[in-house]
Amino acid sequence: MTTNLNWESEKVRLLNMSLEDRRKRFEKNDYITLDTIQSWRIYSIKHKNLEAKKPTLDDLNEFKKITLNQALSKQLLEKVAIYTGDITKLEVDAIVNAANSLLKKGGGVDGAIHRAAGPMLQQECNTLGGCPTGQAKITGGYNLPAKYVIHTVGPQDGSETKLQECYENSFACMEKHDLKSIAFPCISTGIYGFPNRLAAHIALRTARKFLEKHEHKREVERMEKIIFCTFMPIDVDIYETLIQMYFPSHEWNYNDGASVTEQ
Ligand code: AR6
């Protein structure tokens, strides 16, 4: 049993474990491996109903805040994914937690992550001195299939800049620790009440910018996968619509204007 162990030694022990040994800690169906999560390229081929999902005029206006580097468009389709379900099941390098600034276990996805990770996650969080809104701090994943948890604190006042910083700082955190796969919940859109659609624009835009910057790096330094973990049906619908703008799988693109739905 690990419950009497100190979090520091347990963190080191788990991080040094082979993948095979890490997996032995779980029932077979209790973790989801990265290779079984469809990239957006495959998802967009398999889900035929997606083409019917058109952005609105508001979406188009929000999308104007970015100009895509078209030369990278094809390869980036492999780097992003929508996954619908429980983020605590994902065997990725890091899952992101929508935390509070005290880094004390709360409700929502934060509660789910703490429950699945076990008490050492809180013990490590207690040593970090909290986390200001928009910043990100990293801990071990403990009993989670994910190696690390990146805790970021979303805005409670609807600040778009702060939400963007959550994504930017989570990416910075993973780069610093040489991590290659990350899964985000829809930060701030639950208890903190940020509008879901605008939040998805910010998440997708920030991810696109990060990947465009990153793709010029050497193969070994590149990102493997950014996963947008949707949990509520409304977010599935929003992400399935908007990801088509930010990661277009067709020749046309929304920077040139394309058909939209009436609002
Ligand atoms: N897997 C993936 N996403 C989930 C899961 C899950 N297991 N559970 C919930 N979500 P919220 P916030 C989705 O409220 O708005 C906590 O008390 C959920 O449906 O968790 O940033 C913290 O301690 C929603 O789409 O985060 C803070 O006090 C998304 O996760 C406060 O809530 C985020 O909702 C943070 O509020």
Instruction: Report how far residue 59's alpha carbon sits from residue 197's, in angstroms, rounded to the nearest whole number.
Output: 9
- What pLDDT score does 29 carry? 82
**Does the beta carbon of 109 sit less than 6 angstroms from any atom of ligand 1?**
yes
Beta-carbon contacts of 213 under 8 Å, excluding residues fewer than 6 positions away, are none
**Does the beta carbon of 98 sit less than 6 angstroms from any atom of ligand 1?**
yes
Domains of the chain (ranges; CATH) run 7-256 (3.40.220.10)
Round to the nearest angstrom and report the end-to-end CA distance of the chain: 56
Give me ligand 1 centre to Cα 75, in Å.
31
**Does the beta carbon of 229 sit less than 6 angstroms from any atom of ligand 1?**
yes
Atom of ligand 1 nearest to the CA of 193: 15
Per-residue model confidence as pLDDT tens digits over 164-217:
999 999 999 999 999 999 999 999 999 999 999 999 999 999 999 999 998 877
| Banded model confidence at residue 28, pLDDT cuts 50, 70, 90 | confident
Residue 9: count of CB within 10 angstroms of its CB: 10
| Banded model confidence at residue 2, pLDDT cuts 50, 70, 90 | very low
What is the token pair recorded at 258?
A: 């394309």
Instruction: Report how far residue 127's alpha carbon sits from residue 124's, in angstroms, rounded to the nearest whole number.
Output: 5
- What pLDDT score does 253 carry? 60
Per-residue model confidence as pLDDT tens digits over 100-150:
999 999 999 999 999 999 999 999 999 999 999 999 999 999 999 999 999
| 120: Cα separation from own chain's centroid | 23
**Does the beta carbon of 247 sit less than 6 angstroms from any atom of ligand 1?**
no
- What pLDDT score does 223 carry? 84
**Does the beta carbon of 87 sit less than 6 angstroms from any atom of ligand 1?**
yes
**Does the beta carbon of 106 sit less than 6 angstroms from any atom of ligand 1?**
yes
**Does the beta carbon of 260 sit less than 6 angstroms from any atom of ligand 1?**
no
Give me ligand 1 centre to Cα 191, in Å.
7
Helix 196-214 × helix 233-246 angle, to 10°: 40
Percent of the chain topping pLDDT 90: 86
| 252: Cα separation from own chain's centroid | 26
Atom of ligand 1 nearest to the CA of 108: 20
**Of the ranges 120-124, 144-148, 223-227, 257-261, which one carries the lowest mean pLDDT score?**
257-261
> Helix (H) and strand (E) counts for the chain?
10, 8
